[in-house]
Homo-oligomer: A and B are copies of this chain.
Amino acid sequence: MDANKGKGDQGMQNPGGQLDRPVTFNFLESMLPKVVKRRVHALKRLQVQCANIEAKFYEEVHELERKYAALYQPLFDKRRDIVTGTVEPTDEECEWHSDREEEEELAVSTTLDIFLIETFQKFKLLYVIVYIALLTVQEEVKEKAAIEDAKKEEAKPEEDPKGIPEFWLTIFKRVDMLSDMLQEHDEPILKHLRDIQVKFSEPGQPMSFTLEFHFEPNGYFNNAVLTKVYKMKSEPDASDPFSFEGPEIIDCEGCQIDWHKGKDVTVKTIKKKQKHKGRGTVRTVTKQVPNDSFFNFFNPVKASPDGELDEDSEFTLATDFEIGHFFRERIVPRAVLYFTGEALEDDESFEEEELEEGDEEEQDEEGDEDDDDGDFDPKA
């Protein structure tokens, strides 16, 4: 169902909106009697006023998001500390029942309780003993379950991992939009990714948000944080006020990665043999050429102010905006659900709902909202 696709977009309705929609001359309108036409024009002027009010609304929503970002942050910090192994959660903090476990226990205890009541009614005098006996049974059942769990453990390789190993890398691998960018040589680097954070622009500043990729010290680059800034615009376009659908990403900016010598995965060095025309001597020259890598994400194609971009660059840029939006709205707020895959199930089920609406195309297994973007390379 269509409105489902709005999920999580309260802050930015239209990230790709910088691809303008033309306002074409309207036939019906031109056929109206002049007196009616001028009234329609009056309504259009009112509509422009509505668009300006709407812009103010989205600015306030942005403020709300900044306010709530502060409320989420302590939870996200806790998440980072658990992921990196800085903090070991208490047993209470880890209490969680998968549906299955729940059912099992529920089954056990309810049958026991019913039995208990009946027993209680039948031989009131014995009920204490019976009660204790039955509690013991219940305990035994639980112990048995525990032992089985333990057995499962033994099956696995004995290890004592720190935090949640490869937490973010696993997410990159599971989410199609990200795995499209991911190259094998990126994976060892992303194992050092400790956290991804979203920072909103300060009030009064031009509207924007920044993705911060926090890395632990690693052998690849010196930056502790890689940043990608997405600049937004929240005013109706004077030339086309009716296309306004809320803040839209209009530009983005990466950052300089301070690679260790020979570790830059965004370029590859190719050797070329050159033969000297005259002497016929052969020398080898090395040349650096661009290389596919997620880290090209931090060196995006520049949006030109006059919107003069070739189709490829425009599509690449739109895809980049999509990805930035997806990090902000989905990955960062609910990372664990992309790690476990639960969020992917959600996204799939949306596609299924789309299918219900007569869409014929086939869906792939781990589809997320933004499938089919194809391989992503900001330099393409």
Residues of A within 8 A of B (CB): 1-17, 19, 21, 23-26, 28-31, 33-36, 38-47, 49-50, 53-54, 56-58, 60-61, 64-65, 68, 71-72, 75, 78-79, 82-83, 88-89, 91, 93-96, 98-100, 149, 153, 156, 159-161, 163-165, 242-243, 245-246, 315, 318, 321-322, 325-326, 329, 333-337, 339-343, 345-346, 349, 353, 356-361, 369-373
Chain B residues whose CB sits within 8 angstroms of the CB of A24 once the complex forms:
345
CB nearest neighbor in B for A19: B353
Are B1 and A36 in contact, with the CB atoms below 8 A?
no
Chain B residues whose CB sits within 8 angstroms of the CB of A321 once the complex forms:
1
Are A161 and B36 in contact, with the CB atoms below 8 A?
yes
CA distance A4 to B18 in the complex (A): 11
> Could you give 8 example pairs across A and B, Cβ below 8 Å?
A4-B14, A4-B15, A21-B349, A28-B340, A28-B341, A42-B89, A43-B79, A53-B71
CA distance A373 to B1 in the complex (A): 9
Are A35 and B160 in contact, with the CB atoms below 8 A?
yes
CA distance A129 to B11 in the complex (A): 58
Chain B residues whose CB sits within 8 angstroms of the CB of A75 once the complex forms:
46, 49-50, 53
Query: Which 5 pairs from chain A and chain B are nearest by CB?
Result: A6-B9, A5-B5, A41-B96, A42-B89, A1-B16
Are B39 and A164 in contact, with the CB atoms below 8 A?
yes
Chain B residues whose CB sits within 8 angstroms of the CB of A153 once the complex forms:
33-34
Are B2 and A5 in contact, with the CB atoms below 8 A?
yes
A10-B9 in contact given A33-B156, A95-B45, A353-B16 (Cβ < 8 Å): yes
- Tell me which of A1, A91, A161 has the highest count of chain B C-beta atoms within 10 A of its own C-beta: A1
CB nearest neighbor in B for A60: B64
Chain B residues whose CB sits within 8 angstroms of the CB of A30 once the complex forms:
98
Are B334 and A50 in contact, with the CB atoms below 8 A?
yes
